[in-house]
Amino acid sequence: MEELRPEAFFELDGLECAALFQGLDRVWLALDRIKDYVTSEMKPNVADIRRHGETLRQNVVLWGETLLTEGFELKPGDAAKGLFEVWREGQRLEGASVLYAGASLMDDRIQIGPGVVVEPGALIKGPTIIGARTEVRQGAYIRGSCLVGRACIVGHVTEMKNAVMLDGAKAGHFAYLGDSILGRDVNLGAGTKLANLKIVPGPMRIRVGDRTLEADRRKFGAILGDGVETGCNSVTSPGTLMAPRCLVAPNMTVPAGYYKRRTIVRPG
């Protein structure tokens, strides 16, 4: 079924992690690859940062292979737009990443890209890759086996595990992303939950048109194609697949199954 291939959900040309989806005839099979892919592709660069404590006691700047703990000035701005600036001795440090005091790095299997900002209270476990100019906000919980692309937002009290956010995806406030993939420029409204646990044991059954397919997973959140948007306090049921440009109205519970491109899920 062509509509279930990864390329039907995501623009793969020019995508840095396109190999994650290579050769798959069902997009959800990528969920089984995330941990191995992240582990094989990552270039961990936080070992020196962690020497300053699992929970940082001071602001830290990572600039290439240089670690700074003092002598810099921070000029906060929108990290995803490249507007967060770090200065030292009158020079702007292009590509410098900032980890604020109070952020926690729980192991060394973490890659922090250039221009990343990790705010106080965020907690990151590995294996995890955080792409360039991504903002990990206060209280975010990244539980490992996570791939976060460029210019993403992992928001306040947002939790993710075994999940992928492609470039420009945003989960700004109070979201849960478990065993899920967000395409480019997906935007989750505040309080969106991508439920991932099938309560009754057995394979996940997914309705696609007049057919029912099985996914041999008990944990399966949502696959949201490029440009999907959800309204505040919406919930997707385990095993939800939304093709690009779908919209979900606020306060909706989305039944499991496949939704074709530009579907609008709303009351009535």
The answer to whether residue 173 is catalytic is yes
- For residue 68, give the 3-state DSSP assignment: strand
Chain-centre distance of CA 239, in angstroms? 18
184, two tokens: 């480019």
- Rounded CA-CA distance 145/124 in Å is 10
| Contact (CB, 8 A) for 173 and 190 | yes
Catalytic residue among 88, 173, 207, 218: 173
Please give the DSSP secondary-structure letter assigned to residue 267: -
Residue 227: partners with Cβ closer than 8 Å, 6 or more residues away: 183, 184, 185, 186, 244, 245
Radius of gyration (C-alpha) of the chain in whole angstroms: 19
Answer whether the bond into residue 255 is a cis peptide, omega within 30°.
Answer: no
Q: Which of 13, 98, 26 is nearest to 58 (CA)?
A: 98
Residue 22: partners with Cβ closer than 8 Å, 6 or more residues away: none
Provide the annotated active-site residues: 173
